[in-house]
Amino acid sequence: MTLLTNPNRPARLAVVALLLLLTTAAGGCGLVDQTKALLFGGGGQSTATPEHLALDGIEEMNRGNYRQALDIFQEIKERYPFSEVGSLAELKAADANFHLANYQQAYILYQEFESRHPNNEAMPYVLFQMGMCHYRRIDTIDRDPAHAKNAAAAFARLNRAFPKSPYREEAEARRRAARDFLARHEMFVASFYVKTTEYEQAQGRLNYLLETYPESNIVPRAEELLAALKAGNPPKRSWRDWLPDISLGSWRKFMESISPMPGAADPNSGPI
């Protein structure tokens, strides 16, 4: 018998895997319906097997119903943790949380997936998404820069571990953007020290900026300010004039110039 008509379990799982690989193509929901019919018979009726639940979850993801999808994948994880689609449910539960902007929870789930399935073929995608969980929480430069540091480290780790992954270019672009953010944060702190006439501390932060983030486009302003401080000639204009844009206008403009790799920033289209 052919793959599509063989009723045994391995063939059914092969069709499920094929479908999941095609869920980002045009007509993804239609493919789900067709595969349900192939696996479970006409009329779309079947028992709630883990495979059927997985298809329902993918269908909800394709429709943007991430809360419903999350509920389904949680059910698979709780009721069928050792099924063939168990690892899929783990990954898609993380994706659903990511889409719902539950970045901390998504990160934890991606981390758990990595711990449980370190050799899974989806690992480049998982590492990319771990970076994105931090990246999406980067705030303005006057706030804690921890997420920018973690995002830069995560994207660097991805590209070291998988230098030929399809996420390499976007990961590198986002790593650079996160580092530029960190450089601007250092400029913000240095400017604050100038305001409070703590010039030695300001020089220390500027030296750190220049040594750590030499590629940042804030470097010329940092060099100008540092030269003035070393010459004993602090800027006479308002300290605010030295601040990088807190709204991150130029940083956002840089971000908008990044051309995402197909599927890289969209958990729906990641590997399964």
Integer Cα distance of 64 and 61 in angstroms: 5
Where in 127-247 does DSSP place strands (E)?
none
pLDDT at 16: 53
pLDDT at 141: 82
pLDDT at 81: 84
- 133: its two tokens: 């969980």
pLDDT at 186: 95
pLDDT at 139: 86
Spans of the chain below 70 pLDDT: 1-47, 237-272
pTM to 2 decimal places:
0.77
Measured between alpha carbons, how far is residue 223 from residues 184, 216, 217 in Å? 13, 12, 11
The answer to whether the CB of 109 falls within 8 A of the CB of 121 is no
The answer to whether the CB of 61 falls within 8 A of the CB of 266 is no
pLDDT at 221: 93
